[in-house]
């Protein structure tokens, strides 16, 4: 496994496996007089980060081993991975230039973890309930690149803490930004759907459940929601409700498509987009080449919602591409 492999298709943190591999890394490190043991320690530490990116101890042990080995590029790769999970903040990434990473790598790692804790509850203690810090966080999310699945999961958990503090409007706003960049995050689609449903925003709830079930068909949240709505009673009479019409579905998907590219990355795309005219399939191809799979996904779903059979096939292809981490 190479340093780049740390960013493989990780789904959700598996704390027990992360702890197990970190313990193995510590054991090998204690008997690392032989380079073979140090290499085993490094492999175990990489596995710890791979299985649980939310535990700072996993990052610390891996960085420590890289420093002992004098692996400057390895240290840089670890730090870049951490900063990617923290939202690819250009300011953080720029700090890696012209720095003695053997001497300062651990300090840089610890500083990043202190300012931006991976544990959402620790993060919440500094932000939730603090209007100034909450505004800073909002401004930051609106600019960051959160397409990496780990970054998307991390920031989704953070905004759930805002929602639990009765900041529902901000949760809705930020969750749509997060989901626009990573539509495969079915858990956040589901959470957003439940909030809309509780607020009586039934069409918005359907849009969210539809997205969740489209990406994860086995959870059936859209189907269960439809049954709830059909059986919902108001004073003994069934509330008339129908699935949103095609136009409304398409409008929703267009909004998500427009949000799919982080603000920091839009400038380089505008000129090329202007040349695409009205060829939606060419737009989808271009978005995929640019790495904007989310934008391609939402555009393909617009066409599929209008009954385009070829687009339905394309939606599945793009979903597979996102799952493969391309």
CATH of 3-115, one of 1.25.40, 1.10.101, 1.10.10, 2.40.160: 1.25.40
**Predicted local confidence at residue 113, as pLDDT:** 92
**Cβ partners under 8 Å of residue 244, min gap 6:** 203, 206, 207, 252
DSSP string, 25-43: HHHHHHTTTSHHHHHHHHH
**Predicted local confidence at residue 4, as pLDDT:** 38
Dist. CA 128–CA 163, nearest whole Å = 10
- For the chain, which residues score pLDDT lower than 50? 1-11, 235, 237, 267-271, 326
Left, alpha or beta for 129 (phi > 0: left; psi -120 to 50: alpha)?
left
**Predicted local confidence at residue 222, as pLDDT:** 93
Cβ pair 216, 188 in contact under 8 A: no
Cβ pair 58, 19 in contact under 8 A: no
pLDDT tens digit string along 184-202? 899 999 999 999 999 999 9
Sequence ranges of the domains in the chain: 3-115, 120-182, 186-233, 246-323
Cβ pair 86, 143 in contact under 8 A: no
pLDDT tens digit string along 211-220? 999 988 999 9
**Per DSSP, what are the bridge partners of residue 233?**
238
């Amino acid at each position: 496994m190479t340093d780049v492999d740390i960013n493989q298709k990780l789904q959700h943190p598996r704390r027990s496996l992360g702890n197990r591999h970190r313990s193995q890394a510590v054991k090998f490190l204690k008997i690392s007089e032989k380079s073979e043991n140090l290499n085993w320690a490094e492999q175990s530490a990489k596995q710890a980060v791979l299985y649980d990116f939310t535990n700072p101890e996993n990052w610390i042990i891996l960085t420590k081993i890289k420093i002992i080995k004098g692996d400057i590029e390895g240290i840089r790769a670890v730090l870049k991975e951490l900063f990617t999970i923290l939202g690819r903040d250009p300011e953080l990434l720029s700090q890696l230039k012209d720095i003695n990473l053997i001497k300062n790598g651990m300090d840089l790692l610890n500083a990043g973890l202190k300012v931006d804790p991976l544990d959402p509850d620790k993060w919440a203690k500094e932000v939730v309930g603090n209007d100034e810090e909450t505004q800073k966080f909002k401004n930051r999310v609106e600019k960051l690149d959160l397409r990496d699945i780990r970054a998307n999961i991390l920031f989704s958990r953070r905004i759930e803490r805002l929602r639990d503090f009765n900041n529902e409007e901000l949760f809705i706003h930020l969750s749509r930004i997060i989901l626009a960049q990573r539509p495969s995050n079915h858990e956040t689609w589901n959470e957003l759907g439940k909030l809309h449903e509780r607020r009586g925003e039934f069409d918005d709830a359907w849009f969210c459940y539809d997205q969740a079930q489209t990406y994860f068909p086995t959870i059936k949240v859209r189907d269960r929601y439809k049954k709830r709505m059909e059986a919902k009673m108001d004073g003994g009479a069934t509330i008339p409700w129908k699935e949103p019409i095609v136009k409304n579905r398409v409008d929703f998907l267009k909004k998500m498509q427009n949000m799919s590219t982080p603000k920091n990355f839009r400038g380089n795309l505008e000129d090329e987009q202007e040349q695409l005219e009205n060829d939606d399939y060419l737009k989808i191809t271009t978005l995929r080449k640019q790495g904007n799979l989310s934008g391609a996904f939402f555009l393909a779903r617009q066409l599929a919602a209008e009954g385009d059979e070829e687009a339905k096939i394309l939606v599945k292809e793009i979903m597979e591409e996102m799952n493969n981490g391309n």
